[in-house]
Amino acid sequence: MKQLQEKIRTDGKVLSDSVLKVDSFLNHQIDPVLMQAIGEEVASKFADEGITKILTLESSGIAPAVMTGLVLGVPVVFARKRKSLTLISDLYTASVHSFTKNETNDISVSKDYIKSDDVVLILDDFLANGQAVLGLIDIIEQADAALSGVAIVIEKGFQNGGKMIRDRGVRVESLAIISSLANGKVEFIGEVSA
């Protein structure tokens, strides 16, 4: 997605050979115009899949997921990283190791919001080693719901998550795939020139 690649190039900050900071438009401040374009792009890719629900992870997946849900006309559920007091029972829970924080946390979703007749699209901001997506897939499997596919805003193609999830036979659509962050420079796979 050209607009996203340009935004990453102009506003993204390469923190190391493996971490990209996009706080100015996705992870802290949010660019609603870009989020709307992302929502339209993801929705167009999965328009014919009969999706009934979008599942993401708080907090950075919520903005692109809501925009996608708006276009597809379906609700958005975000997995919580901390169990809320009003949400103590009837939860699906999975363990997720965080790439950026190097810690393992439980994520959870109320059983009220994913049902066995749901067709679910997973959407997240980044795909690195695939642990967040695996946790979300685990929750969909616990709910006996169908997984339509995975939409990712930024995939780091030099880490193994994309291959691992695709090798499971899951459709993964990433709007920007980074091939390298070496030497402080962002390189994309399939750079869109026009």
SS (H, E, C) 26-91: HHCCCCHHHHHHHHHHHHHHCCCCCCCEEEEECCCCHHHHHHHHHHHCCCEEEEECCCCHHHCCCE
Task: Please identify which residue in 114, 132, 137, 153 interacts with ligand 5GP, judged by CB under 6 A.
Answer: 132
Instruction: Count the site residues for ligand 5GP by CB under 6 A.
Output: 20
Determine, following the binding rule CB under 6 A, whether residue 25 of this chain makes contact with ligand 5GP: no
Please name the residues in contact with 95: beta carbons below 8 A apart, sequence gap of 6 or more: 104, 105, 106, 107, 135
Nearer to ligand 5GP, 37 or 172 (CB): 172
Q: Which of 139, 121, 124 is closest to 58 using CA atoms? A: 124
Determine, following the binding rule CB under 6 A, whether residue 20 of this chain makes contact with ligand 5GP: yes
The answer to whether 121 and 98 have CB atoms below 8 angstroms apart is no
Task: Please identify which residue in 41, 99, 108, 147 interacts with ligand 5GP, judged by CB under 6 A.
Answer: 99
Minimum gap (Å) between residue 12 Cβ and ligand 5GP: 9
Residue type, 147: L
Query: What is the pattern of x (binds ligand 5GP, CB under 6 A) and - over residues 67-96?
Result: ------------------------------
Binding region for 5-phospho-alpha-D-ribose 1-diphosphate:
128-132
Binding region:
20, 27, 128-132, 156
